[in-house]
Chain A
Amino acid sequence: MIKVKLLVVEDELVIGMSIQMSLERLGYAVVGIVSSGEEAVEKALELQPDLILMDIILSGTMDGIEAAREIRKQVDIPIIYLTANADSPTVERARDTVPYGYLNKPINERDLMSNIDSAIHKHHLEKRLRDREERYRLLIESLNDILISTDENGIVTYVSPQIKAITGYTETEIVGKNFAEFVHPDDSAKTAELIEKGKGGGSRMGEFRAIGSTGDLIWFHVSGSPAFVNGRFNGIRVILRDITKQKRAEEEARHKNEELLAANEELQSIIEELESTNAEFEAQNRELLRTRDELATDDAMLRSIFKVAPVGIGTERNRAIVWSNSMLHEITGYAEEELYGQSARMLYLSDEDYEELARQMVEQIYKTGMGTVETRWKRKDGTVIDILLKAMLMDPDKMGADGIFMALDITEKKRAGEALRRSEEKYRHLAENISDNLWVVDLKTLKLEYSSPYGKPILGYDTLAIQGLPIRNIIAPEHLEMVKDILAEELDRDGQPGIDPNRTRTLELKQVHKNGSTIWTETTVKFLRDETGKPVSVIGVAHEITGRKQFETELVASEEKYRELAEHMSDYLWVLDIHALKYTYVSPSCKDLIGYETEESLMLAASDVLTPDSLNKANRFFAGEFSREGREGVDPDRPMILELELMHKDGHIVWTEMTAKFLRDKSGAITGILGVSRDITRRKRTELALAASEEKYRLMSESISDLILIWDIMTERFSYVSPVSWEMTGYLPEELLSLPLNEILTPESHDVVIGVMGEEIALDSRPGINPARSRVFTVELKRKDGSTLWIEITARFLRNESGNPAGVLGVARDISERKHAEHVMILQRDLAQALGAISVLEDALALCIQTGIRATGMDSGSVHLVDRLTGGLDLASHIGLGEAFIKKSSHYDEQSPNARLVMKGEPVYSTYEEIKKFSDKSLTKEGLRAIAIIPVMHNNRAIACLGIASHVIDNIPPMARNTLENIAAHIGDIIMRIEMQDSLRRSEEKFRLMIENSPFPIAIIENSTGAITYTNKSLENILGYNTANIPTMRDWLKAAYPDPAYRKKIKESWEQRVRDAVTAGTAVEPQEADVRCLDGTLRRIEFHMVFIGDLLFFMMNDLTEKKINQEMMIQTEKMTSLGGLAAGMAHEINNPLGIILQGAQGALSRLSSAVKKNKDAAAKMGLDFDRVLEFLQERDIVEYLEGIRDAGNRAAKIVSNMLQFSRRSETSIAPVDINLLIDKTIEIASNDYDLKKKYNFRKIQIIREYNLKLKKVPCSETGIQQVILNLLKNAAQAMGNVKSDKFKPVITIRTGKRGRSAVIEVTDNGPGIDSNVQRHIFEPFYTTKGMGGGTGLGLSVSHYIIDKNHNGSITVESKPGKGATFIISLPLTRTV
């Protein structure tokens, strides 16, 4: 196992080292200890530790929190803070850096380990969750897209599974290979550049071609962004979208039919056109294209326009019919596709007929450029019809060129013509010279008087039969009036001057044949006169022109029709005179196109119609074309195509495509331009829109896989549903058309749709709102089978002519997968939140199972916990499982396959097929069809296992697996957390009880507020106080220390101790104090204080009884060892002292003149008392006596002082600066009378060798002072015994620390102490000083003070002649 690497950031080297030792003992690897924030950042980046232990307070400018923030900015390393005293703003600040824990100093190993382990675990989980989240996010963003990650060299490290469907490659075929291998060679430079640029950061987009597994070309839209790990380029992450379809559609659309795009501008039409059959579309297209080609050929401008001409028209190429118009279809009964590509032979009765026709045609065309032949065709239905066929070549100069033919059905006419021809033949035969009919009409009766025999073939009447026939019988009614008018007119003017009486008029007359058919004649008439010259009759010579006339009439009719068509077509035809630069012809559609009436537009110059840019463009274009004229290879009839902007009369711009051709005179010189202009504004707009955004293309291509719906606002039903509805909804499109919205949406989603619709309609009337806006929303669809599906709808209004919303066009997309991912994420988030609030394991597990079920669509589940002792599995929670199964699965022992499976630590997903093969039949008995077993791991050990199963579904969707593994991780967390909580709670309970029942009084105080939050039983029992009667620290101080001076002293003492402890980093020195209890009694209490954060813990030790005992003991000991002896000694000394003093006083008293007895006694001896006194004074005797008295008094004082040593010694122990104390003692010693006088103390050189770092030592100040003073006296005395002038007495005093004790050494350079004496030196009354030299008590008392009162020791080291050293050792910490 790899050791967890830790970085320790701690500016106290000692603490750092101790943490390191602890960590290493616990099995972690400490990769570094640093002491400043800056160093921490540097090392964290360099060493990449798994975890950082960070002291918050660091010396230097950057503290631990700053450093953590800096580190986390760059790398993802969990951080645990070390803190001694974290206030809440600090914690708040630290929280921003997402710490994985806090460790309070001093740090114990158990906390250290659990904190580190949980941080690593937590971090691991978080990282895993983050990674998954990331993947989900990308999934959501891309859906059908391919995700590829590469390393820094472009080697693919991950590719999402969609790759297979799109390229045919499996993931394994791609991973490990260079991304560039799959790029089309033409695009590899482009993609390489993209990757190179991508390294600079930011995302890149582009398009490239890739080669699929089958070698086909795939177009991808790529958006890539570089990945950086710890600031280093780590490859790219690419999202590929297959746009092949779109590209293809684009290409197709562009090449095949730009018009389609123009028409596609509106989505509705896109859809409609997608719906319309391709064939129809192509046919249209072909026609349009052909129309255009044909328009370009001027010899048949009108002729070629149209399929709907009343004559059958067709074109032939290489003897195959390549185009035919509808009239031809009507005539022949064949549809266009039946004719297309076929030989015209199919229309003829026999090969002979066809060959004959062809021969004649070719002959005629060769001669005249055009052939006219009557022939017969066989219709599709078998009937035979007569056809007048005219044919010509498209290009008269080339015999092999395409031919064009026109067929006229002349069956009817033929029948009539047949008779005519027969009679004609007859007349021709009869009168070769007289081919005309001569007739005479009487002017009065208007009846025929005569008709020559030739009238018969024309009118069908015999010569005789016609006589007396009124002219109305032979003249068509519409001409009869005309004829009558002409006659009247001629009669009227007849005889007038200048009027030729033999004048003639020629009329084209429409006459009526005997059989009722119409005959056209050209008749020349003149008057016949009587003798007086008066017109009496009219003579006319008529020859039939029916054939010509009929043809003429038909041509006129068809011409009219063509023109009409030409003029009604939307394209704008015009002819421009090149010399006048004026339009000589414009078709009426110019009104539609540019708003001018035909007449108006004829007045316009080109510059009036074209925008300046387009005028320029046209001028340049035609100049170019002119210059090309006459060059080799330049077709004079070339079509010229140019896009031009026209100005509409109302000022707006109209985009047109002009197809033009030069018109030429016979010499070939250009006389004008024939142009056809077509409105391409819509197309242009579409092109612009397309160019601006490919969005619509995508919409278009994506639309094909998405469900397209059109909702009719009026009928509240769908009016269109695209075929994919079945896959998505389970309904056929027809079914959906009749369903109301609430049938196919969940109620909530129905409300959503109604809401959106309402909002949008309300919005629609507002100014500035884009009418083409679309709105995206998600709804839950009710499928026909009852299941639901989340879809995302992109919708927009479809509008009627007035622009008001009439319908809604919606594109619906299945987003259930995305929804599922979202759903799962929400579930997991909810789970994590809910788990945080749960502290009962069973509840938490049930929640986990529930979440697992909900997230995966399964229906049952369980959690087993691993028994730590046996390794068996125990059922802890279950949902949706049968009784029998629960019983069976309540326990699996450690040898069972189930337990062993779990111990392996790998999730197992079993399908129904696999379950059936299990030896454990309880699963199949329960009816489980799919099962997931996910071990819950902690520290590489299975601690539980999550089972999720279904009674319905046969396998577990892969989507669900991540979710389940995630939930398993949650379970691991919750188990560990709850276990930790339980053990915490147990230990908390334990400690609480311990505190509660502790024999020592305990109180807890909030330092910041001074509130006493807790007091235990003992405190109340012993002192009588509780949180009710001393709610705050102030209340306590007042109650416990009523004397303000004492209170002040205690407070100050505490403050000093706390300061000392903080500076030294040690525990606070305990303090003794006399506390007044609630009942007024005083008790001696020793206080121990610990602070934990803001809380102060006070533990009290009642020393009252102990003190009493101790004092009693001391007294007893005094009595036995010293007390009694001192008293005895005092008695012994005081008696002789009494004699001395009383003697001296008595003597002085008896020398006093105030005492009468003295004078009497002197007188009795004959002495003058005054003289005696004089004598005594003269000899200083009085002075001597006074000296004795004073010395006696002094001795008495010494005794009394000495007795005080044995009195109750002041033993209050307090921290004392030993060095200072020694200085003070030396001061006292130098002022000491005895030392000064007897031992010449001032002459002794005192050398102080103090350890200045020595901290205060807890001791009794007076006690230690007494001991040192005694040692100084002994030393002085001992050195006083050396009788040598050269001797220089020196006392050296050293202080220092030895282990856990303070040491004071007092060394003299005196005669030393022999070993025999050393043995007894601390025994009471042992003295070497002889009578009057010492009491033998000094060292024994010293020993008593050091040994008994201070738990210390006093020893002596000496060699005779080499001085002596007394060593006092005092413990630095006091133990009670």
Chain B
Amino acid sequence: MSGMRVIIIDDEPMIIKMLKGYLEDQGFDVASAGTGREGLELISRERFDAAIVDLGLADMEGSNVVIRAKTIQPGIACFIHTGSVDYIPSDELVSLGVDADSVIRKPQPDMHEISRAIVKKVGMKGRGVTS
């Protein structure tokens, strides 16, 4: 798990702080951005294994951030972080590999679910890439 790079894009600083803290505690290398644009800048500059994107960002739609992120780094595993209960990823996102498993619901009663989802997603990908 160590060395796995995760970027959190969220306009809620407290979310970033707590999620970052948690993931770092779990051994992830965590970067963060407060806006979509800032996040995408970071992604275009640095390599990330996974991105956790808030759906309702202040400057842009989370799904668009994901699509852009995928064009910048096609190998990045993107997660949509949302408070909506009935959110379903669009077909475009699904085609980019962002499916139902890539949706992290807020609030998350058990944080370990998040780390397990990332590991699962990135791991699958990693095996795919490496093999």
Interface residues of A, Cβ cutoff 8 Å to B = 1127, 1130-1135, 1137-1143, 1145-1146, 1149-1150, 1155, 1157-1158, 1192-1193, 1196, 1199-1200, 1203
- B22 contact from A1127, A1145, A1203, Cβ within 8 A: A1145
The segment from B37-45, B65-73, B77-85, B118-126 found at the interface with A is: B77-85
Segment 1-45 of B: residues with Cβ below 8 Å from A? 12, 14-15, 18-19, 21-22, 24-25
Further pairs besides A1132-B83, A1134-B82, A1139-B12: 18, Cβ < 8 Å: A1130-B84, A1130-B85, A1131-B82, A1131-B83, A1134-B84, A1134-B85, A1134-B107, A1135-B15, A1135-B83, A1137-B106, A1141-B108, A1146-B18, A1146-B22, A1158-B25, A1193-B107, A1196-B107, A1200-B85, A1203-B85
Minimal beta-carbon separation of B109 from chain A (angstroms): 5
Q: Which residue of B lies closest to A1129 (CB)?
A: B83
Please tell me if the beta carbons of B108 and A1131 are within 8 angstroms of each other in the complex: no
- Considering the chains assembled together, what is the distance between the CA atoms of A1155 and B23 in angstroms? 12
CB distance from A578 to the nearest CB of B (A): 155
Residues of A near B94 (CB, < 8 A) are: none
Shortest distance from the beta carbon of B124 to any chain A beta carbon, whole Å: 25
Contact of A1145 among B56, B105, B111 (CB under 8 A): B111
Complex: A949 Cα to B55 Cα, angstroms:
107
A1142 and B84 contacting across the interface, CB-CB below 8 Å: no
Interface residues as binary, B84-119 with A (CB distance below 8 Å gives 1, 0 otherwise): 111000000000000000000111111100000000
How many A-B residue pairs lie within 8 Å, measured between CB atoms?
A: 78
A1143 to B108 alpha-carbon distance, docked (Å) = 11
Please determine whether B83 and A1133 come into contact, CB atoms closer than 8 angstroms.
yes
Contacts of A1146 in B (CB 8 A): 18, 21-22, 25, 111
In the complex, A26 Cα to B108 Cα: how many Å?
Answer: 78
Q: Are A1138 and B85 in contact (CB under 8 A)?
A: no
User: Which of A1141, A1142, A1157, A1192 has the most CB atoms of chain B within a 10 A radius of its CB?
Assistant: A1142
Given A1143-B18, A1146-B21, A1155-B25: A1131 in contact with B84 (beta carbons within 8 A): yes
Minimum CB–CB distance from A1330 to chain B (whole Å) comes to: 22
What are 15 of the A-B contact pairs (CB < 8 Å)?
Answer: A1127-B84, A1127-B86, A1131-B55, A1131-B83, A1134-B85, A1135-B83, A1138-B15, A1138-B106, A1139-B12, A1141-B107, A1142-B108, A1142-B111, A1143-B18, A1146-B25, A1199-B85
Query: With A and B bound together, what is the CA distance between A1157 and B28 in angstroms?
Result: 13
- Could you say which residues of chain A place their CB within 8 Å of the CB of B15? 1135, 1138-1139, 1142
The answer for the CA separation of A1203 and B107 in the assembled complex, in Å, is 15
Cα–Cα, bound, A1146→B12 (Å): 16
| Distance between Cα atoms of A1150 and B17 in the complex (Å) | 13
Closest to A1127 in B: B84
Contacts of B12 in A (CB 8 A): 1135, 1138-1139
Distance, CA A1130 to CA B83, complexed state (A): 6
Q: Which residues of A contact B82 (CB under 8 A)?
A: 1131, 1134
B22 touches A1138 (CB 8 A): no
CB–CB B25/A1157 < 8 A: yes
Complex Cα spacing A1131 to B57, Å = 12
Return A1256 CB to nearest CB of chain B, in Å: 35
Contact for A1193 among B24, B55, B83, B109, CB less than 8 A: B109
B: number of interface residues (CB 8 Å): 23
Q: Which residues of A lie under 8 Å from residue B25 when comparing CB positions?
A: 1146, 1149-1150, 1155, 1157-1158
The answer on a CB contact under 8 Å between A1141 and B14 is: no
Q: How far is the CA of A1139 from the CA of B55 in the complex (A)?
A: 15
Whole-angstrom CA separation of A469 from B34 in the bound complex: 221
CB within 8 A of B107: which of A1137, A1155, A1157, A1158? A1137
A1131-B56, A1135-B12, A1192-B107 as given contacts; A1142 in contact with B85, CB under 8 Å: no
| Cβ–Cβ < 8 Å partners of B84 in chain A | 1127, 1130-1131, 1134
A1132-B83, A1135-B15, A1139-B12 known; A1149-B107 Cβ under 8 A: no
Residue in B closest to A1131 when the chains form the complex, CB atoms: B83
| Cα A365 to Cα B75 with chains together (Å) | 195
Q: Measured between C-beta atoms, what is the minimum distance from A1122 to chain B in Å?
A: 13
Give the residue among B15, B18, B55 with the most A Cβ atoms within 10 A: B18
Nearest B residue to A1128, CB-CB? B84
**A residues in contact with B105, CB < 8 Å:** 1134
Min CB distance, B42 to chain A, in Å? 22
B37 shortest CB reach to chain A, Å:
20
- Report the bound CA distance from A1288 to B19 in whole Å: 49
Bound Cα distance from A1140 to B18, whole angstroms: 10
Q: How far is the CB of B107 from chain A (nearest CB, A)?
A: 4
Q: What separation, in Å, do the CA atoms of A1200 and B85 have in the docked complex?
A: 7
Q: Are A1142 and B107 in contact (CB under 8 A)?
A: yes
Alpha-carbon distance between A1200 and B111 when the two chains are bound, in angstroms: 18
CB distance from B108 to the nearest CB of A (A): 7
Q: Does A1138 contact B111, Cβ atoms closer than 8 Å?
A: no
A456 → B minimal CB distance (Å): 195
Provide the bound-state CA to CA distance between A1138 and B107, in Å. 4
Contacts A1133-B83, A1138-B106, A1192-B107: A1143 and B56 contacting too (C-beta < 8 A)?
Answer: no
CA–CA, A1155 and B111, complex, Å:
14
Cβ distance A1153 to chain B, nearest Cβ, rounded Å:
13
Please give the distance in Å from B78's CB to the nearest CB on chain A: 18
Expressed in whole angstroms, the Cα–Cα distance for A1164 and B105 within the complex equals: 36
- Residue among B15, B19, B85, B105 with max Cβ neighbours from chain A (10 Å): B85
With a CB–CB cut-off of 8 A, which chain B residues contact A1140? Answer: 107
In order of increasing CB-CB distance, the 8 nearest A-B pairs are: A1134-B83, A1138-B106, A1141-B107, A1131-B83, A1138-B107, A1137-B107, A1146-B18, A1142-B18
CB-defined contacts of A1134 to chain B, threshold 8 Å: 82-85, 105-107
Alpha-carbon distance between A381 and B19 when the two chains are bound, in angstroms: 186
- Which residues of chain A have C-beta atoms less than 8 A from B14's C-beta? 1139, 1143
- Cβ contact within 8 Å between B83 and A1139: no
In the assembled complex, the CB of B103 is this many whole angstroms from the nearest CB of chain A, namely: 13
Nearest A-chain residue to B22, judged by Cβ: A1146
Given contacts A1127-B85, A1200-B85, A1203-B85, contact A1150 B21 (CB under 8 A): yes
Identity of the chain A residue whose Cβ is nearest the Cβ of B86 in the assembled complex? A1127
> In the complex, what distance in Å separates the CA atom of A1141 from the CA atom of B107?
6
Return chain B residues, CB-CB under 8 Å to A1200: 85
The interface residues of chain A lying within 8 Å CB-to-CB of B85 are: 1127, 1130, 1134, 1199-1200, 1203
CB neighbours of B108 from chain A (8 A):
1138, 1141-1142
Smallest distance from the beta carbon of A1192 to chain B beta carbons, Å? 6
B22 with A1149: CB separation less than 8 A: yes
Residues of B within 8 A of A1192 (CB): 107
Residue of A nearest to B56 (CB): A1131
Closest to A1157 in B: B25
Report A1186 CB to chain B, min CB distance, Å. 13
Report the Cα distance A492→B80, complex, angstroms.
Answer: 206
Cα A1145 to Cα B111 in complex, Å, equals 7
Tell me the complex Cα distance, A1199–B85, Å.
9
Find chain B residues with CB under 8 A from A1139 CB.
12, 14-15, 18
CA distance A1145 to B108 in the complex (A): 10
Complex Cα gap A996–B119 (Å): 68
Which chain B positions have C-beta within 8 A of A1131?
Answer: 55-56, 82-84
* A1141 and B110 alpha carbons, distance in the complex (Å): 9
CA distance A1130 to B105 in the complex (A): 11
Q: Once the chains bind, are A1149 and B111 in contact (CB under 8 Å)?
A: yes
Inter-chain contacts of A1135 with B (CB < 8 A) = 12, 15, 56, 83, 106
Residues of A within 8 A of B19 (CB): 1142
Q: Can you name the residue of chain A whose Cβ is closest to the Cβ of B14?
A: A1139
- Of A1134, A1157, A1158, A1192, most buried by chain B (CB within 10 Å of CB) is A1134
Which single residue of chain A is at the shortest CB-CB distance from B27?
Answer: A1157
Chain B: minimal CB distance from A431 (Å)? 199
Docked CA distance A1199–B111 (Å): 19
Instruction: Tell me the smallest distance from the CB of B1 to a CB of chain A, in Å.
Output: 13
CB distance from B123 to the nearest CB of A (A): 22
Chain B, residue nearest A1202 (CB): B85
Roughly how many angstroms separate A1145 CA and B106 CA in the complex, as a whole number? 13
